[in-house]
Structures are given as structure tokens and as C-alpha cells.
Chain A
Amino acid sequence: MTARTHIRVLLAAAAIAAAPPVARASEADAFENKIVPISGQLYGKGGRFELEPLAALSVDDAFYAKYFGGVRAGWHFSDFWSVAVTFQGGASQPTSSTSLCTASQGCKAATPEQLWQVPGDIRWLGGAEVLFSPVYGKVNVLASAVLHLDFSLIAGVDFIESQKVLSAAQAAQVASSGGTPGNVGAPGMHLGLGTHIFFASFAAVTLELKDYLYFTDIGNLNANKLQNQIFVELGVSFFIGQPSR
């Protein structure tokens, strides 16, 4: 190869190197850089009302399990941000942890007088919350059905009404008079995670996990203690109005 050829090759190589890089699919994905894989949210929420009847079940309960029904109404500012108000209430029952067992007599349920001394018997709660939904996705199930869903982070403030927690002496006094402990309300807050699984442009299944935090007086300890109550909420959301986009 002559010096002239060397110079030509170098000049040509420099010219090619200076040219703009060629867009090229990688070996891993022939479609890489060609199209955006998710081109848009098929089910838009921005500018729409959301109305949701829901059922809620408490988990990780120490003394009382709760079975609530409720409703939530929300407004979506965009596909990513929304606010909502919610109310729920219902029934509760003592957990199996309140059974008292002895070696000679077996196990028996705790008396009402004993149950009045422990926290967690929430009667109803209502609140307002902000939802941030940064994640929208599509799921391929068994290479056939495609589900559309989003995920949300939830934070809110609440008012929580629960049965008053008595001391042993107060419980004995109320029991002897044939009364009940009564209820007490407290401000609270909640944090949670949620998902919408869309099955139509106007409807979705909503599943949420929320941790409610509030303070209540514990009679036997003569102290105000932080309570921690986890709820799983399942509902059907109906979207009203046309998406803003």
C-alpha cells in the first residue's frame, strides 16, 4: 500500500468518523430506538371524576378485625395527579388472638369487659387524600390478554372514630352499670399504594393498601399511644366525563 493510499484511507476514515452516528437497532432488540414501546395511555383519567364503591378489610390486627364498606369520590387533575374524599364504616369482631387458653380448661373467648381494654375497634373513618400515579403499564398475561393498569402513591388526612379504650377499673364500672364504653374520635393520617386495573374506558377495578395512623388513649397504661391499622380496599371505579387529552 502506497503512502498516497494511506492518506486516502485516513481521509475517508476521518470523514466517516465525523459523520453523524447512524441510528441502529441493537442486537438485543430490533425495535430499540425505533418506536416508543408505550405510545400513550389508552385509558386517560385527566379531567375526569372518579366514583368508587369499595369494600375494605383490615389486616395485621392485634385485637379487632374490621369489615368495612364505603365510597370514594375523586377528581383527576391529570393522568398523574388526583384528589379524593373517602368514607367507610362497618363491623368488627375480635381476632383469634383474644382467645384465652388454659391447660386445664381449653380456650375461650375474652369477655366484653376485657375487650373494652384493648384498642383497634374502629367504627368509621373519613378523610381526604392526594394520589400521585406516575406508573402506567400494560401487562401481557399468558401471552394472550393485555391488561392496562396504573400504580399510585397515596397520602391523606383522616378523622377516625373508634371505641374508647378503658382501664380495668373503668371497664368493671361500665360492665356493672350495663353500659358500653362509647366512642372517641381522633385525627389521623394514612399512606398507601394503589392500582387501577382498567377493563373499559369508564371503569376499572381499584385495589389499595393503606396504613392508617392515629393516636388513642390506652386506659390501663394511662398513655396516648400511636395506633397503626392496615386496610386492604377493593372497589370498582367509574370514570365520569371525557379525558382532557
Chain B
Amino acid sequence: MPSISMRAPLRTLSWLLVALPLAVHAQEMPGLDLSSPAKDKGKVAAPSPTAKPAPAAEPGTPLEKAVGVPGEADAALEDRVKAVQRKGFIKQNRFQLTAFVAPTVNDAFYEKLGVGGMLAYNVQDSFAVALRGAYWFAFKSQYVKQGAFAFQSQLLSSQLYGTAMLDGIWSPVYGKFAWLGKSIVHFDAYVIAGGGLAWSATSGAPRNEGPHVAGDLGAGIRFYPNDWTCLDLGLVGTFYADQKDTALPGNIQKVVAITLGVSFFVPTRFEYYYP
């Protein structure tokens, strides 16, 4: 039967004495950790160029050790450490699958609701190519009836059924929001533009004109609550040529909609790269 001598517990105790202070010291280390994490498979985890080191200072409190000695205004001290230090969310080389709804805001007579999806690939962190498609429902508002009474006329409208677009998405703006001064949410802003096809009532029988050439242009903002999803709020205009009635000249139809979407990213995790 093995026996334990007095030296063994002493040796274990000495390990404990070494391990515990190391753990506690690591937990209470104040201020910035400016050391770079180990490089791994091409990944570089260094501060972005926008990160500025804290100015040289004579440290006093832990806050001053972290950010330097306060200047004339406390607000300036609070802002000494730049809030936008690096991107908190990386999209490069990730697929993005989005589901959205899009109520229109520019047709008071026939309000439309688009329901659709988007598959995008982020070629760069700030640029993606995307396939977007939507089906559009139309709802007649009270103004159709009021206008018909007042003007003794019929209101003609292009009936949009569907759109399929190939778009480029450029997101030159990113930042962070504080919610009630506490939680931090990363976001970026983007512009979207592209071309494709639109199907309306004139695309099928009896006129059989087929799909119309269309373009779209818009902008929006995306919030990133975690590593693999984002919430999307945008305003996108879709433009296509359509002739509502053969007796009238054709013109450009403008469908401007607020897009509300949720996106999922694949792969679900990301690693930080130099921009």
C-alpha cells in the first residue's frame, strides 16, 4: 500500500502558494493589456491603427494608470481612451444569410410590403456582393377611395410582384453604441446598389412583357449583438420601368421601402485580421 510522507503535502502546499497568488494577480491587473496575443495561422491580434496609446502620465489612481492623468475637463479624461479602437465584428470571408420585411414609404395609395431574403458573401470586411429577392404584397389605402370621389377618376398603379437583384454592399462606417451608458453594441453603416429584374402585372398575361430591368439604391445600419448575427435597418429604393396602361406613356416606378432584417453569418465565429 503506498504511503505518503510528510514531504509530499509540503510540496503540494508550496505549489498552492505559487499558483494562488499568480491567479489572483492576473485577475486584479488594472488598466490596458497592450501585449499582443499570439499569432496563429496568419491571424494577427494587434490593436487597429485607430487605437492610440494612452499619453505618458504620472500614474496615481488605477484609472490614471490606465488612461493617463486627467486634463482640465473630466469629460476629456473619460474620452482619453478612444472608444473606437478596433472593429468588434469581422465579416471578411463570411457568408451572410438575411431574412427581411420591407414596408414601402413612398406610395400613400397602394402601400406595399416586401418579404424576402438575401445571400451575401463578404469579399472584404467593408464590401460584399449579394443576391436579393423579394415578393411584394400591395394594400389599397383609404386615399384611393377619397381620391376617386374627389377627382372622379381612376388611379392607375404599377403592381409590383417580385424583384431579384445582384447588389454590392459597401460599409465604410463602423462604431459602437452604449445602451443606457452600459452595454456595448457594435454596428456599421452601409450603402447598397445594384441591378436586376422586377416582375409586375404587365410581365404576365395578357401583355406578357416579361420581367423589367430594375435597379436599386439604398443605405442602412446593422447592429451586431453577437459573433454570428446582426439586425439590419435600412432604406432601399427599387426602380424599374413600367407602362401602367398602353394608352399612357411608360415611366420609372419608384418603390422606396424601409427594410427590417435579421442576418446570420457563416462561419459563425471570426478571427481578427488587420483591415
Q: Are B37 and A63 in contact (CB under 8 A)?
A: no
Tally B residues with Cβ within 8 Å of A.
Answer: 76
Residues of B1-26 at the interface with A, using a CB-CB cut-off of 8 Å, are 2, 4-5, 8, 11-12, 15-16, 19-20, 23-24, 26
**A185 vs B86: C-alpha distance when bound (angstroms):** 53
Q: Are B37 and A25 in contact (CB under 8 A)?
A: yes
Q: Are B147 and A62 in contact (CB under 8 A)?
A: yes
**A142 vs B189: C-alpha distance when bound (angstroms):** 11
Q: Are B176 and A12 in contact (CB under 8 A)?
A: no
**Residue on B with the closest CB to A230?**
B105
Of B16, B143, B172, the most chain A CB neighbours within 10 A belong to B143
Q: Are B150 and A220 in contact (CB under 8 A)?
A: yes
**A31 vs B15: C-alpha distance when bound (angstroms):** 30
Of A19, A42, A110, the most chain B CB neighbours within 10 A belong to A19
What sequence of 0s and 1s flags, for each residue 203-221 of chain B, a beta carbon within 8 Å of any chain A beta carbon? 0000000000000000000
**Residue on A with the closest CB to B1?**
A3
User: Which A residues touch B227, using CB under 8 A?
Assistant: 28
User: Which B residues touch A19, using CB under 8 A?
Assistant: 19-20, 23-24
What sequence of 0s and 1s flags, for each residue 24-63 of chain A, a beta carbon within 8 Å of any chain B beta carbon? 1101111100111111111010000000000000011111
If the complex has contacts A29-B86, A135-B177, A141-B173, are A38 and B184 also in contact, measured as CB distance less than 8 A?
yes
B272 at interface by CB-CB < 8 Å: yes
If the complex has contacts A100-B151, A168-B149, are A30 and B33 also in contact, measured as CB distance less than 8 A?
yes
Q: Are A101 and B78 in contact (CB under 8 A)?
A: no
Among A83-91, A114-122, A156-164, A172-180, the one that faces the other chain is: A114-122
Q: Are A168 and B15 in contact (CB under 8 A)?
A: no
If the complex has contacts A34-B31, A42-B75, A100-B151, are A27 and B82 also in contact, measured as CB distance less than 8 A?
no
If the complex has contacts A37-B83, A134-B180, A220-B149, are A15 and B16 also in contact, measured as CB distance less than 8 A?
yes
Q: Are B75 and A7 in contact (CB under 8 A)?
A: no
What sequence of 0s and 1s flags, for each residue 256-275 of chain B, a beta carbon within 8 Å of any chain A beta carbon? 00000000000000111001
Q: Are A140 and B150 in contact (CB under 8 A)?
A: no
Q: Are A34 and B179 in contact (CB under 8 A)?
A: no
**A34 vs B47: C-alpha distance when bound (angstroms):** 13
Q: Which of B4, B50, B173, B178 contacts A38 (CB 8 A)?
A: B178
If the complex has contacts A4-B4, A39-B79, are A22 and B23 also in contact, measured as CB distance less than 8 A?
yes
B66 at interface by CB-CB < 8 Å: yes
User: Which A residues touch B174, using CB under 8 A?
Assistant: 139-140
Q: Are B23 and A140 in contact (CB under 8 A)?
A: no
User: Which A residues touch B105, using CB under 8 A?
Assistant: 59-60, 230
User: Which B residues touch A44, using CB under 8 A?
Assistant: 75
Q: Are B86 and A35 in contact (CB under 8 A)?
A: no
CB proximity of B149 to chain A, nearest CB, Å: 4
**A220 vs B84: C-alpha distance when bound (angstroms):** 58
User: Which A residues touch B27, using CB under 8 A?
Assistant: 20-23
